[in-house]
Structure 1
């Protein structure tokens, strides 16, 4: 299974920083030269000394969201008569598909902006920014020193997605919640860029970028740890709790329209004989009832499920042969003609109503390849892929282009999600990332991260009651559903 492969790869492969000045320090004092609450003169910092990098994606929906954020930042600055900052859309900076992993991009950022800027601030498309407050928060730090700033997350227990790092006490290591924004001072950026040139990241897999970036910066204690900035928040934009925040979460535009219809999504479940009576019943107790069309694909035709035998022998890992047979069946006319295909494992838990709301933001006429994005060899010109356990979503156009290309498995037990990533990358069909899909269990993610998500999927039944997990994290409120309330994602 993909999780085991990542575990093997991971296994192979606090001087605390100066504490942020108190959240109560006023932004006015920071910008006017008055002393802050520590009696230190606040530095003057112009917004033009800040470079904003929006961690954008090339899919038309996500590119549009990033452009709206850029326009909002520039509009705010225009109203203050200050010089405008540089605002970059990450997906437009080069042809390197792996730029989303940030580290390969640092040399370019250092060369382009290292001499005339003080801060590099990274934002996700959902990050709302109050520019004046953010500049005030940054002004509390000496930009001539190395700073790594953000809203800290930590693991309560060691987890596979972080390669079981800090197993004895995982909570000691802090990493940034990208949704709140995070920042590097230019001296740190320049040094990291030199390090990337001389010592590229060694890990083959990019699994949880925010944790891996923090590890690279920390450098086994030779670099700075993350410093918490209370003004970097994940409260909802406009809420009372966000009144003192420099960043908050933009009110999501979801649904972008009416949720796609049940009949527009075909669900393919990968299973095998030994799990027909262990895992399949969980699906039937939880999310199967929300599917208009679902088929279970196995190595054995079992009328009690029922399952479809695709004629591909079961393999202990990889399942590439089975997945490509599913793709061919999707276009064959033997199943309903739908706009979207969802492929899941038999131990994937998913909310189909939430997925259908999310899909309202995408055009089925585009080649869409959607889920939780991982990377392989991104520092060496590798590729991105959607990890299978959290669910892989394809538009019909993406499947058609893939199969027309002739790209195929090199063996039945090749890793299906990685082979798909290679094939689609070669076709310039990007892996579109949504943080709402999860390759692992809820326990494997920081509680504060999940607190501001409405998740779509989780994966694995290991050491959990999967039915209880579904009802806690993924079950829709029946009253809202019956009343037509469109819960925000």
Structure 2
């Protein structure tokens, strides 16, 4: 599919991009902790009609299309298997409310709509490949009338700031899911969680690392079940996997040309000699247009002062000033704006390959998504560190 171009005068959109690789200090374990059960034997028999598959889709046209293709493939697989048809949902279609991406706000809807007929709810990402027969084999090991939280288990190797140093004395003791491999909730557990979401306020208003926060919510300080590690929930292909994950960059055509990406680097005076030289020595050469924005002008870099003082917390003022400058005609016209911090490391060639999948005529914002007050109809926002 060829890249889509924008003629002069078309509306320019903003790109805030983050590549999220595996978190530092995170390790996968198949059955890592004594409190985590790897396998249970049961005589229960779950059919595909009792499974609800929730694809964690997004509204953007590219992602919606990828999720629809995944859904079609699952339904085709079910037809060929001949053991019934599962319910396959696209998360972004369940509500007009954008906060459903954080899963917890969607639980009451899932419980009310599908709680009577479903035995299991399985969550997967757009690029998660699934074998329905292998999934049924896994689910039928666990009695569906009990509370189960099944996933590929991750744990911190050391206390992590993004997890607020939880379980700092023994980080490996707490497991959380790898969403790329998919994860499952039995109906009794999902229904109880749905009630809690409606009746009890969350301990934190912020959604920062969704997979860890979901596991904490389910665990409920020991009142709820721990994650049960399932070896067949995989991200890399190996024998007997029920799921695998596509990790390579999508192939959508020729990369976006250099001149169609304008790069804005946010910095401040105290980092002019410490951080900016690293950018210049590494990835700056891959940018056709790049400007450094600071709280002071420095001709040696050079930097541009936007008249916004540096602050320790909250950087919206500088970001809005960059947006206004980009749209004012003061910089070369480009289809995409990339805003990064002065300590962000990024591959611009890989970014340009990725951008070809998106239509710059649409309002597109890419980045690492955080949330605030999402259960109470709050809002999502892009964190700046990753770009």
Secondary structure of the structure 2 residue equivalent to 1:75: helix
Query: In 2, Cα distance between the equivalents of 1:155 and 1:382?
Result: 29
Written as runs of structure 1 = structure 2, the 5 A alignment for 1:86-485 is: 86-236=87-237, 241=238, 243-250=239-246, 252=248, 254-391=250-387
Larger helix proportion of the pair = 1
- For 1:8, the equivalent position in structure 2 comes to none
Query: In 2, Cα distance between the equivalents of 1:121 and 1:365?
Result: 34
Query: In 2, Cα distance between the equivalents of 1:216 and 1:251?
Result: 28
- Where structure 1 has 5 or more consecutive residues not aligned to the other structure, the ranges are 1-13, 22-39, 392-489
Between 215-224 and 196-205, report the one with greater CA deviation. Answer: 196-205
Q: Is the aligned partner of 1:19 residue 2:20?
A: no
1:338 deviates by 0.5
The CA RMSD over aligned residues, in Å, is 1.5
The runs of at least 4 aligned residues of structure 1 exceeding 6 Å deviation read none
TM-score by length of 2: 0.89
Q: Is the 8 A contact 2:344 2:385 kept in 1?
A: yes
1:15 deviates by 7.3
1:171 deviates by 1.3
Q: Is the 8 A contact 2:44 2:144 kept in 1?
A: no
Q: How many residues align?
A: 355
- For 1:36, the equivalent position in structure 2 comes to none
Secondary structure of the structure 2 residue equivalent to 1:234: coil
Between 138-147 and 199-208, report the one with greater CA deviation. Answer: 199-208
TM-score by length of 1: 0.71
1:252 deviates by 5.0
Q: Is the 8 A contact 2:42 2:140 kept in 1?
A: no
1:43 deviates by 2.9
Q: Is the 8 A contact 2:372 2:379 kept in 1?
A: yes
Query: In 2, Cα distance between the equivalents of 1:232 and 1:153?
Result: 12
1:292 deviates by 1.0
- Where structure 2 has 5 or more consecutive residues not aligned to the other structure, the ranges are 1-32
> What does the per-residue CA deviation read over 1:389-417, in whole Å, with 9 as the maximum and x for residues that have no partner?
110xxxxxxxxxxxxxxxxxxxxxxxxxx
Q: Is the aligned partner of 1:70 residue 2:89?
A: no
Of the two structures, which has the highest relative contact order with CA contacts closer than 8 Å and spacing of 6 or more? 2
